[in-house]
Every structure is written in C-alpha cells, then in structure tokens.
Amino acid sequence: MSSGKPDEKKGINCDELYDMSRKDFELYIYSLRKMAENNMESNRTFMTDLYNLRAFQYKAQEEMLANENLRFAMIVLDFSNFKSINEFCGRDVGDGLLIATADALRAEAGEHVVLSHFRADTFAIMTPFADEQELIDITERIGRRIEEYKMPYRALPAFGICIADYPTMSVSLMRDYATMALGTIKGKFYAKYAFFDAKMRKQMLINKMIENDIVEALRDEQLFIFIQPKVNMTDGSIIGGEALVRWRYKDNSMVSPGEFIPVVEKNGLIIDVDVYVWTRVFSFLGRRLAQGKRVEPLSINISRLHVFDDSFKDTIINLSRKYGVSPEYVSLELTESGFAENQENIYDNMEELRKFGFKVSMDDFGIGYSTMTMLKNQPIDEIKIDKGFIDDLNDPKSRSILRHTVEMLNDLELDTIVEGVETKEQRDFLLECGCTRAQGYLYYKPMSVEKFEELLDAGK
C-alpha cells in the first residue's frame, strides 16, 4: 500500500465513502430543514446563544447552496486545556470563557457567516473567504479577543480549518475534516491552526481501510511474521530474534506496521493482532523443538492495552503449554510507556509470568519514561536501549551518556541489547562500553520466518 494511491489501489473512493449523490444530498438538506425550520431559534446553545450542531449544519449548508459563486470554509475551535481551567479556576470561570469565546466569534459575524457552539468547549464558524490568509487572520483575531478575557489560567485555543471543495460538500464532512486537522495540533503550544489537506485526506482513507479490513485480515491470515535477529557483536552469531508483524493486503501489496499499528491500537484490535502474532511464534518454536532443530529465544511484543487485561498472562501461559515451548524460549517486550502506565497492575502480571519462567524486556529504553525507581522496582530482566542513544556518537556527551548507561545496567545485572546498530563505529564503541548484544541493519534486517530458519540451520 505504500506505493500507489490507497483510494485507487484498494478500490476505496472518496465519493463512495464520504460524499452523496445530488438526490441524496437534497434529501439530507430537506431532513435538516424539517428538523430546524419549525423553531429555528430554539436550536441554540443555552449559555452562548449560538446555533447548536443541528441548526448549524442546516444553516451553513443552506448558505453554501444559495451562494455557489462563493468559496466557503469551516473553522472549528477547541481548547487544549479547558478541563484544567474548570478544575483550577472553577466552573464559573470556565463558563465565562465560553461566553467570551462566543462573543469573539460574533465579532466575525457578517453576510453568509454562520456561527455554532457544538458542545462543551467546541465552536465553529462557516464563512466565505477570498484566500487562506483571510482564514488565518480570522483565527488570530478570535485568539486575541479570547486573550482579553481575564483569568488566572491561560486559555489555549486551537483551530482546525477545512475549505469546501465544492458548493454541495457536506457540512458534516467538513466538520470531520476540520476536527481532524485540529487534532494534529491540539496541545502543541507552537501551533495554533492547521488546514485539512491532501495528506490528512489520504491518512483518513488509509485509517478507514484498516478499520474496515483488519478483521478480515486476521480471519484470512493476511498478517504474517517477520523476525529480526539479535546478535552477539563479538562474533556476529545469532542469539535470538524479535517477532514483528507484517500485513500482505488482499491485492498482494504490503501495508506497513507504521500505518496499521496506530489504528488498531486506537480501536482496541491490537489485542487480537498481538494474540495472532503470539500464536504463530509459539507454533513456530514448537515445530522446531519437535523436529529437534536449533531454537533461539524470540521476543514478542506486549501492547499497552494488555496492561489493563489480566487475561493476557493466561493466554501466554496456555500457548506455552499448547505448543510445548519452554518459557526460556520466549521473552516479553513492553515499551517504557507500558511500564509507566498502571504500574501496580503491570508489575503483578509480569511478576507472575516471570515466576512461570518468562523473561521480561523493557523496549525503547531512554525515550522519555525511564526513571531509576522504575528500574529498581519493576520486574525486568532485559533492557533494550533505543537507537536514539547511538545516532550521534560524534557528540562527546552522547558517548558519555551511553557509556555510563551501559555501565549502570551491567551493575544492575540486567541483560542489555542496543537497537538500530548500523555502522561498525557504533559496534566498536558499544563493545568498548561492555555491551555485546545488538539488533540492527549492520547485521540483519527483519526477514521472513523461512529466511530466519535458513540462517539457524546454517549455523549462523
């Protein structure tokens, strides 16, 4: 899927997913009108007296259809810290901010402009415009007016902007697009507005494809396992591997993990994907053990959602028993953030698995969550140092940090492995520091199970 346009290659068409025929569109407008026309003024948000969502969609669509010679855009406003304002300043201050925001939008009112207060701290303005700078200017004026509201906690408004592609474009769709654009910057202090663009549209299509097809992919075994070997850097020998998942789509193209993993993490299906991978790893190891062939330990990834699911440990133990694989041949990798979330629960589950014989590995060590207390208290056997530690070994500070990190982990009697080793210089420095285990392109890229077996059988 990474090559070619996803909406063409997968048979996904923007019009099919999101747009309507003219007849359907007219029925849509008619239904909105019937809902709103009996008492339009009652369809206002109580506190701010702006149109609610239902009335806004009708009025905004009506303006677009009646003025096909004008270009329209929707701007959605949301606050990154409204909950904190209510908590620290009180609800009266939060309500005052909402009223001040409504007044800031009203200052932009004019011919063909429609304003809305959707819900809570979410507002919108549908407005005609001449160029993008005019839309940016609107967000800046609104932002300045909001700043004039005096309170002890700074408000952080963010704006998502969607420009209508054509006069009959659905207002509901524009709202989705503007909200998606807003989501890319909400909470980022350095960005106040974002336009929905072709890149976001493509990502939305990809996400929709993944959501629609991942269950079928699991059922039809379109997902399969790759393994990236782990090596002993002193002689280059294979000492294990990490199981990774790949998706061969039904048209035989590849969907990268970077595309589908975030989506299945968000919708919860990562649990099913994980169990799918675990089952195939245990099956692979069990087959080679039964054949009397060489076996090296493989690591499987435990996604963060499993932290809140006590049954995952029973699943792993049952797979070990079903396929006759001793726990010594499987290590469990969890990212730092997974260890940081709900520490008490993950500690109990991982400690139980360790007692059964599994080793526990902390993945991506060093990218922001690690603490000395975590290293001391959590049930960890192995630390995987993130490749960011070795990306800049020309910097004396980076070399010093890495050297002392390896020394500390060795003193704690933790196994250490470094990810992303790509050069001989990195290898030599790691060996100098006392680290002998690595993964990286200097040795092997992720490969098919069959290729990994060939390496094991060849004595690599």
Please report, in tens digits, the pLDDT of each residue of the chain (460 residues total).
444 334 434 433 444 434 455 556 666 656 655 555 555 556 777 788 899 988 898 889 989 988 999 999 999 999 987 887 877 778 888 889 999 999 999 999 999 999 999 888 899 999 999 999 999 999 999 999 999 988 887 888 999 999 998 888 999 999 999 998 998 887 676 778 999 988 888 877 888 888 888 888 899 889 999 999 999 999 999 999 999 999 998 888 888 888 888 888 888 888 899 999 999 999 999 999 999 999 999 999 988 777 667 788 899 999 999 999 999 999 998 865 555 555 566 777 788 888 889 998 888 776 554 455 567 666 788 889 888 888 888 888 889 988 988 998 888 888 999 999 999 999 999 999 999 999 999 999 999 999 999 999 999 9
Regarding whether 174 and 222 lie in a shared domain, the answer is: no
CA distance 414 to 397: 23
Regarding whether 306 and 157 lie in a shared domain, the answer is: no
Domain that holds residue 30: 6-196
CA distance 64 to 171: 9
CA distance 32 to 63: 13
Regarding whether 142 and 41 lie in a shared domain, the answer is: yes
Read off the CATH number of the domain in which 353 is found: 3.20.20.450
CA distance 182 to 171: 16
**Residue 22 pLDDT:** 57
Sheet-wide strand order for 122-129: 114-119, 122-129, 71-79, 157-163, 193-195
H/E element, 25:
helix 22-37
**Residue 39 pLDDT:** 55
Cβ 325 vs Cβ 296: under 8 Å: no
Would you say residue 384 lies in a domain? Answer: yes
369-377 own/partner pairs: CB under 8 Å, 24+ apart: 369/336, 369/337, 369/339, 369/340, 370/336, 374/336, 374/339, 374/340, 374/343, 375/412, 375/414, 377/343, 377/347
Regarding whether 154 and 267 lie in a shared domain, the answer is: no
Read off the CATH number of the domain in which 64 is found: 3.30.70.270
Regarding whether 212 and 323 lie in a shared domain, the answer is: yes
Regarding whether 285 and 260 lie in a shared domain, the answer is: yes
**Residue 37 pLDDT:** 55
Domain endpoint, select from 196, 221, 253: 196
Regarding whether 289 and 192 lie in a shared domain, the answer is: no
Would you say residue 201 lies in a domain? Answer: no
Regarding whether 104 and 145 lie in a shared domain, the answer is: yes
Domain endpoint, select from 167, 196, 225: 196
Regarding whether 261 and 186 lie in a shared domain, the answer is: no
Regarding whether 237 and 165 lie in a shared domain, the answer is: no
What residue has token string 């415009």?
Answer: 129
Domain endpoint, select from 166, 196, 226: 196
Residue 438's DSSP bridge partners are: 231, 418
**Residue 282 pLDDT:** 97
Overall number of domains in the chain: 2
Regarding whether 219 and 161 lie in a shared domain, the answer is: no
Would you say residue 156 lies in a domain? Answer: yes
Would you say residue 159 lies in a domain? Answer: yes
**Residue 31 pLDDT:** 62
Residue 129's DSSP bridge partners are: 71
Question: Length of the chain in residues, anyone?
Answer: 460
Regarding whether 246 and 168 lie in a shared domain, the answer is: no
Would you say residue 1 lies in a domain? Answer: no
Q: Largest Cα–Cα distance in the chain? A: 81
